Amino acid sequence: MFRILVSLLAISFSTSCQSNVKKKKDEVATTSQSTLEKNITLEQEDLEKFETAYFASGCFWCVEAIFESVKGVEEVVSGYSGGTKKNPTYEEVGGGMTDHAEAVKVYYDPKVISFTALVQVFFGSHDPTTLNRQGPDRGPQYRSIAFYKNEDEKKIIESYIKALEENDVYQGLPITTQVVPFNKFYDAEDYHQDYEKKHPNNSYIRNVSIPRLNRFKENFQDYLKDDAKH
């Protein structure tokens, strides 16, 4: 149960999730606004049938791709949560000008995967001992957060952290993950959604996101969708 990726201790790279913001914006594909709005409406109606969970563990490009590879997960949205500023922008959050963190909203089918399993995926796919840092990304906007919507979810998260500590999974290093009640989630800008899939040649994606995803896949084969095993 506790196949946690201790080997995920971050490797430093020259790139970061916040670098080259203008370039990222320029990579956005042009889409008809009316078509986009129609697709969003139809998708939202379908997604309302599923449960939601919220996590933050570094750059949301990486986190989104990891959760999307997990069976039972129907959709993952990149965004911002954990702070108080309304309608934050990427520049504000990434620049440390808010108290939000880059986070993801996970739509999942509880008949296929449990909240407990999602918590295992969360802890197993990042290093929760590095305070306000994940790999090359530094600052409270990249902190580790497990959000809960009710007391049952809170107990699951806290029990799992206790088990990790009792089993000394991180060899004495303290777990810095915040366990906080969920309040509000703000969707990130359109160009951030499915960023890893759309921009596989981006230097950050090649050097940080894909290796992180592959390490997760290697250790969590039983959790993966069939098309994510290759």
Residue count of the chain = 230
Residue 62 among the catalytic residues: no
Q: Which of 4, 5, 53, 59 is catalytic?
A: 59
The DSSP string of 136-158 is TEESGGG-EEEEESSHHHHHHHH
Other beta carbons within 10 Å of 74: 16
Place of tokens 């702070």: 83
Spatial distance between the Cα atoms of 70 and 5, rounded to a whole number of angstroms: 16
Spatial distance between the Cα atoms of 14 and 92, rounded to a whole number of angstroms: 22
Contact 185, 103 (CB under 8 A): yes
Spatial distance between the Cα atoms of 89 and 162, rounded to a whole number of angstroms: 35
Q: What is the CA radius of gyration of the chain?
A: 17
The set of catalytic residues is 59
